[in-house]
Amino acid sequence: MKDGLLTDRQKEVLRFRKQGMTQQQIADIIHTSKANVCTIEKSAMENIRRAKETLEFLYTLDATHLCTIEAGMDLLDVAPFIYREAENIGIKVKYDTISLINKLREATPERFRARHVRDAIEVYINDEGDLYFG
């Protein structure tokens, strides 16, 4: 049984970075070049991105596509829209308006500009009323 995606090297770098060290400082400590620290850190972030994407796939596997939030929509209109769509297919959404918006902003922070949606967001829902965004 193997560990997670991150190599010992990558974990090491992430820990030092979390403490606020520069790549050069870390390079000195672990006896390698700063370029190498950079690539190690970069591939660590890449691995984290992939881990997230993998679990996203799992979620959408037992979830059905609920609706699409089109670009330009106001953030405050999103929750009512999702509630209506979910009601149409007879599923009760698990989250109240506040949690829903928080969850949405957390899942796709880059897709917002102030109160407006920048790019379309696909919304998935499962039988339990859990929501996933892709």
Partner DNA sequence: AGAATGTTAACGAAAAGTGTTTAAGTTACC
Partner DNA sequence: GGTAACTTAAACACTTTTCGTTAACATTCT
Residues that bind DNA (CB under 7 A): 2, 5, 7-10, 22-25, 30, 32-36, 38-43, 46-47
Instruction: Return the one option of DNA, its own copies, none that residue 8 interacts with (CB less than 5 to 8 A, by type).
Output: DNA
Q: Please report, for residues 19, 71, 88, 129, the alpha-carbon distance to residue 102 in angstroms, rounded to integers and kept in the order given.
A: 27, 18, 23, 16
Given a contact cutoff of 8 angstroms between Cβ atoms, the answer to whether 38 and 23 are in contact is yes
Residue from 51, 71, 77, 82 nearest 111 by CA: 71
| Span from 24-32, 43-51, 72-80, 90-98 in contact with its own copies (CB under 8 A) | 43-51
The smaller minimum CB distance to its own copies, of residues 5 and 73, is found at: 5
Q: Please report, for residues 35, 39, 75, 101, 114, the alpha-carbon distance to residue 79 in angstroms, rounded to integers and kept in the order given.
A: 45, 40, 8, 7, 16
- Which position among 33, 42, 57, 128 is part of the footprint of its own copies (CB under 8 A)? 57
In the window 58-97, what residues touch its own copies (CB under 8 A)? 58, 61-62
Asked whether position 129 contacts its own copies by CB under 8 A, the answer is no
* Residues within the interface to its own copies (CB under 8 A): 2-6, 11, 14-15, 18, 46-48, 50-58, 61-62
